[in-house]
Amino acid sequence: MKRVFLLGYPITYSLSPAMHNAAFQAMGLDWRYALLSVTAGDLAGAVARLRWADCAGANVTTPHKEAIIAFLDDLGDMARKTGAVNTVLKRDGKLVGENTDVAGFMQALHDAGISPHDARIVLFGAGGAARAVSFGLAEAGVSGIVILNRSPARARQLAAMLQGHFPRLSLAINTSDALKDADIIVNATPVGMWPNVAESPMPPGSVCRRGAIAIDLVYYPGETRFLREAARCGAQTLGGLSMLVYQGALAFALWTGYAPPVQVMFQAARRALGEEGGG
Ligand SMILES: NC(=O)c1ccc[n+]([C@@H]2O[C@H](COP(=O)([O-])OP(=O)(O)OC[C@H]3O[C@@H](n4cnc5c(N)ncnc54)[C@H](OP(=O)(O)O)[C@@H]3O)[C@@H](O)[C@H]2O)c1
C-alpha cells in the first residue's frame, strides 16, 4: 500500500483524507491518505518519514508551508517563485516541493465567474496560503494588493516577494482603510475556522462595499462569519471548498500520474463537510 500524508497543525478538521481516499478508491488504487499532526519542532522527523519507501508524497498546511522548504531536496517552479509548498512528491527518490494552491485558487475563481483583472485586493494573512493567493492574483493583473497581517514583518516579507516578481504592482501593508474600496477581499488566515466560528478577520466596525467579492480560504464551516457579514453588506461570497478540491486534484495528479476524479473529490469533500448529509 502507498501512503500520502497531510503535515500540519491543527489538522483535525481537514477534509483532505475523505476527499483523497475517495479519489484513490474511485481509481482502484491501493493508496491511503492520513493526517500527520506535526508541530514546528517535529517537522524534520515528519519529513524523514516521507522518505520511507511506502510514502508517495504529502500535502503541507498551516504552519509549515514555508518552513518545510529547508528540509526538501528540490522545488518546482511555483514553489520556488512563491516560497511556499503545499504538495510534496517523490522524483527519483528525492523529495520535491510544489505549490498547487496557486492554480487551485485561480480555478476556484474561474468556476465562480470571478475575474480579478484590474481589481483592488485586500488580503488578510501573509503566510503560505497568502503567498499563493497573492501570486495568482498578481499574475492575473490585479491593480493592487493591500496586505493586512497580524505581524507586520511577515507582511513585509510577502510584499518583498511580490515586488520581486511584479515590480509594477501597487502594494501596501496594514492600511485597513482600503477595505471600504476593495473589489475583492480574501481571508488567507485561519481566523473563523472551527471551533473559533465567532471570529472574523474584519476589524470591528469595518464593512465591505456593495458589489465587492469576499473569499474565505477557510472551508470549515462552509459559511464563516466573515462571509455571512460580507453577504449582508451585499458582497458576492466564495468559501474555501472549491479551492480545496482543485489544489487537491492537482496534487493527486502529481503523486499518481493519473487524471484526478474531480467530481468524486467534490462529492466526498461536501459529504465530509455535512453538506450532502454526511458527518
Ligand atoms: N481552501 C483551501 O484550499 C486552502 C488552501 C490553503 C490554506 N487554506 C487555509 O488558509 C489558512 C492559512 O493557511 P496557511 O497555510 O497560510 O497558514 P500559515 O502559513 O500558518 O499562515 C497563517 C496566517 O494567518 C495569520 N494568523 C494566524 N492566526 C491568526 C489570528 N488568530 N489572528 C490573526 N491572524 C492570524 C498569520 O499571521 P502571523 O504572520 O501574524 O502569524 C499568518 O499570516 C488556514 O486556515 C488554511 O486551512 C485553505
Higher pLDDT, 216 or 274: 216
The candidate with the shortest Cα–Cα distance to 173, out of 160, 164, 183, is: 160
* pLDDT, tens digit, 9 for 90 and up, residues 160-176: 999 999 999 999 999 98
* Residue ranges making up the domain that contains 186: 103-239
Cβ(240) – ligand 1 distance below 6 Å: yes
Domain for residue 279, yes or no?
Answer: no
Domain for residue 278, yes or no?
Answer: no
Domain for residue 217, yes or no?
Answer: yes
Same domain, 129 and 204: yes
Q: How confident is the model at residue 278 (pLDDT cuts 50, 70, 90)?
A: very low
List phi, psi (to 5°) of 208.
Answer: -105, 160
Same domain, 143 and 227: yes
Same domain, 36 and 128: no
Q: Which three cell numbers stand for residue 247?
A: 489544489
Same domain, 90 and 110: no
Rounded average pLDDT over 168-188? 96
* pLDDT, tens digit, 9 for 90 and up, residues 43-85: 999 999 999 999 999 999 999 999 999 999 999 999 999 999 9
Same domain, 225 and 110: yes
Instruction: Find the 219 Cα to ligand 1 centroid distance in Å.
Output: 12
Domain for residue 152, yes or no?
Answer: yes
Domain for residue 12, yes or no?
Answer: yes
Largest CA distance in the chain: 54
- Provide the pLDDT for residue 176: 86
Same domain, 116 and 56: no
Same domain, 117 and 235: yes
Cβ(224) – ligand 1 distance below 6 Å: no
Instruction: Find the 59 Cα to ligand 1 centroid distance in Å.
Output: 15
Q: What percentage of the chain has pLDDT greater than the value 70?
A: 99
Same domain, 220 and 107: yes
Cβ(108) – ligand 1 distance below 6 Å: no
For the cut 60, the answer to whether the pLDDT of residue 181 exceeds it is yes
Between CA 248 and CA 104 the distance in angstroms is: 8
Same domain, 27 and 145: no
- Provide the pLDDT for residue 276: 57
Domain for residue 175, yes or no?
Answer: yes
CA atoms within 13 A on the CB side of 272: 22
* pLDDT, tens digit, 9 for 90 and up, residues 81-116: 999 999 999 999 999 999 999 999 999 999 999 999
* pLDDT, tens digit, 9 for 90 and up, residues 231-249: 999 999 999 999 999 999 9
Pair type for strands 213-216 and 2-8: unpaired
- Provide the pLDDT for residue 213: 98
Instruction: Find the 239 Cα to ligand 1 centroid distance in Å.
Output: 15
Q: Which atom of ligand 1 is nearest to the CA of 124?
A: 43
Same domain, 143 and 247: no
- Provide the pLDDT for residue 77: 98
For the cut 90, the answer to whether the pLDDT of residue 133 exceeds it is yes
> 145 with 173: CB under 8 angstroms?
no
Supply the CATH number for residue 204's domain: 3.40.50.720
Q: Which atom of ligand 1 is nearest to the CA of 131?
A: 16
For the cut 50, the answer to whether the pLDDT of residue 207 exceeds it is yes
Cβ(190) – ligand 1 distance below 6 Å: yes
- Provide the pLDDT for residue 20: 98
Same domain, 145 and 229: yes
Cβ(193) – ligand 1 distance below 6 Å: yes
Domain for residue 7, yes or no?
Answer: yes
Same domain, 66 and 144: no
The candidate with the shortest Cα–Cα distance to 105, out of 238, 230, 253, is: 238
Q: Which atom of ligand 1 is nearest to the CA of 245?
A: 3
Q: Give the number of domains in the chain.
A: 2
Cβ(238) – ligand 1 distance below 6 Å: no
Domain for residue 251, yes or no?
Answer: yes
Q: How confident is the model at residue 279 (pLDDT cuts 50, 70, 90)?
A: very low
Mutate to test the pocket of ligand 1, among 217, 224, 242 (most ligand atoms within 8 A of CB): 217
Q: Which residues are catalytic?
A: 65
> 166 with 82: CB under 8 angstroms?
no
- Provide the pLDDT for residue 275: 74
Strand locations in 11-140 (E):
31-37, 55-60, 74-75, 87-91, 94-98, 120-124
Supply the CATH number for residue 92's domain: 3.40.50.10860
Cβ(134) – ligand 1 distance below 6 Å: no
